[in-house]
Amino acid sequence: MNAAAAARDVVAALREEGGLLAAALAGGAALTGTGDPARLDPTAAGLVEGLAPHRAFAVAAVREGYLLHYGRPRFVDGADASLALLAGDRLYALGLARLAAAADVAAVRELADLITRCAQAHAVGDGTAAQAAWDAAGTRLAGATAGADGPHRDGGDGPPRREGDRLPQPNADSR
C-alpha cells in the first residue's frame, strides 16, 4: 500500500467514527490524497510503502497518534493540547485494533513496543532514540510475514528483546 492510500484510509475511518476527532480533521492534501504524502510525513510515507493494507493503515494511524503527542500531526488540526493527547491515544488504539482484527499479533506487539519506546525516549528528551525506534520497527514490520507470530531468535514469542528490557518477574501467587 502507498502512503496516500494509507492516509486516506485513516482519515476515512476517523470521519466515519464522528465526534470531536472527526471535527478536528484538517483539510488539504492528507484528506484528498492529492500532493506528496512524503511531504506530510517522510517517516510514515517511507514505512507504509509495500506493507499489507492492514499494516499500512496501522502504521499511518500510530504515526499520526505519535505526531499528536510529540510533533506536528498530518490529519488533525486545531486540537487543543488535551484533545491532541486524547486523539493521539485514540489513533494508537485505532491502529492496534486494525492489526488485531487481522490477527496480526506480531505487528500488534511491534507497534505496541514502538509506542512504549517512543514514550520512554521522549520522557528523557531523546528524539533521536524515538526516530531510531521508528526506523527499527519499520524494518521489522517490512521483514516479517503479515500475520506471522511465534518465537524470535531470543527464544521469546514477543518482540525481540533489546538491551535494557526487563524480564518478566514471576507472580508471587503462582508459586
Distance CA 157, CA 89 (A): 26
Instruction: Check residue 81 and give its pLDDT.
Output: 81
Q: Are 114 and 47 in contact (CB under 8 A)?
A: no
Write down the number of H helices and E strands in the chain: 9, 0
Residue 17 DSSP SS3:
helix
Residue 76 DSSP SS3:
strand
H or E segment to which residue 112 belongs? helix 105-123
pLDDT at 124 over 90: yes
Instruction: Check residue 78 and give its pLDDT.
Output: 57
Cell of 174: 503462582
**Each residue of 87-121: pLDDT tens digit?**
999 999 999 999 999 999 999 999 999 999 999 99
Residue 148: pLDDT band (50, 70, 90) is: very low
Instruction: Tell me what the mean pLDDT of segment 171-175 comes to.
Output: 46
pTM of the predicted model as reported, rounded to 2 decimal places: 0.77
With a pLDDT cut of 90, the percent of the chain lying above it is 43
pLDDT at 129 over 70: yes
**Each residue of 13-41: pLDDT tens digit?**
988 988 888 888 876 444 444 444 434 57
Instruction: Tell me what the mean pLDDT of segment 146-150 comes to.
Output: 42
pLDDT at 45 over 50: yes
Cell of 130: 524515538
Distance CA 155, CA 175 (A): 23
